[in-house]
Amino acid sequence: MSAAAAEEYRIVDPHVHVWKHDPEFPFAPDARPPGRDATPETLLGLMQANGVSKTVLVQVIHYRYDNRYTASVLKRHPQYFQAVCRVDPLDPAAPDHLSRLVEEQGFRGVRLSPAANAAGDWIRGPLMPPLWKRCESLKAPMTILAPIARIPEVGQLIEKYPLLQVVIDHMADCPVDRPAELEKLTALARYPKVFVKISHTWSLSRQGYPYPDAQELVKRLHAVFGPQRLMWATDWPIVEQTAGASYERALRVVRDDMKFLNAEDKRWMLSGTIERVWPFG
């Protein structure tokens, strides 16, 4: 895409994490955060250097369900950020916690992360319908980080709440060596309010940049969902944990190196789709 074309719309990153070693905002007791900080100041520098205008902060697991640090960043930089919180899926009071986070703290959406093993079986348990119903009434997008094997169960919840916007993170981390598994995710295309982040090409790939094997997954999702329901994302700073990957490359692989995308596709996937879910003023 030419520089002139890029200037016609703002690029929005729908998935980053921030944290800081600070006694005012302690990590969860069992957390193992990296020694480094991931501060909003560092993030804003990366955004400026790469032409990214706005970003959606996703509550990092290091704090578990204590959303105070993310809320503080959102309060300090409302012109740049929106934010997605976490609530405890095993807490019957989770819907009320979510209401407070949305209505009083300014969060827009919640993230759930069911594991592949039995520890994630709560995704099909009795506490999910009240939480999903509350999301629907709050018009707060539901963001799901789940392995591809869990996606059919997620689909059963989506079926019950058709008015709720649901975003599947990171292509459900479908392994590139099991491409048939992607059919579990493409089956959700029949629900018009389901969106997919095409992030994690860098972590799923078994090849070097620009990750041609992982791009094949993106091609299939593009053919089924269309660009209006796909969105890029950096997953900063997690992206920096993979050799050769970076914030800049997470953008460049979509903007420059997915040759099957045309300019209009990129307009949606770098900007328009994201603002369908997280509109910035």
Q: Is the pLDDT of residue 2 over 50?
A: no
Instruction: At 225, list the tokens.
Output: 């969902």
For 115-138, what is each residue's pLDDT tens digit? Answer: 999 999 999 999 999 999 999 999
Mean pLDDT of the region 259-272: 98
Q: Is the pLDDT of residue 225 over 90?
A: yes
Write down the domain spans for the chain.
3-277
**pLDDT band for position 7 (cuts 50, 70, 90):** low
* Cα gap 126→109, rounded to integer Å: 21
Taken as a whole, the chain contains a residue count of 281
* Cα gap 257→193, rounded to integer Å: 28
For 27-66, what is each residue's pLDDT tens digit? Answer: 999 999 999 999 999 999 999 999 999 999 999 999 999 9
**pLDDT band for position 79 (cuts 50, 70, 90):** very high
For 148-202, what is each residue's pLDDT tens digit? Answer: 999 999 999 999 999 999 999 999 999 999 999 999 999 999 999 999 999 999 9
Task: Identify the pLDDT of residue 8.
Answer: 84
CATH, domain 3-277, list 3.20.20.140, 3.30.2390.10, 3.30.2000.10, 3.40.50.300:
3.20.20.140
Mean pLDDT of the region 220-224: 98
Give the predicted TM-score (pTM) of the model. 0.96
Provide the percentage of residues in the chain whose pLDDT is more than 70. Answer: 98
* Cα gap 267→259, rounded to integer Å: 14
Residues 33, 64 contacting (CB under 8 angstroms): no
Task: Identify the pLDDT of residue 281.
Answer: 85
Q: Rounded to whole angstroms, what are the CA distances from 136 to 37, 129, 165, 166?
A: 34, 10, 8, 10
**pLDDT band for position 3 (cuts 50, 70, 90):** very low
* Cα gap 237→65, rounded to integer Å: 20
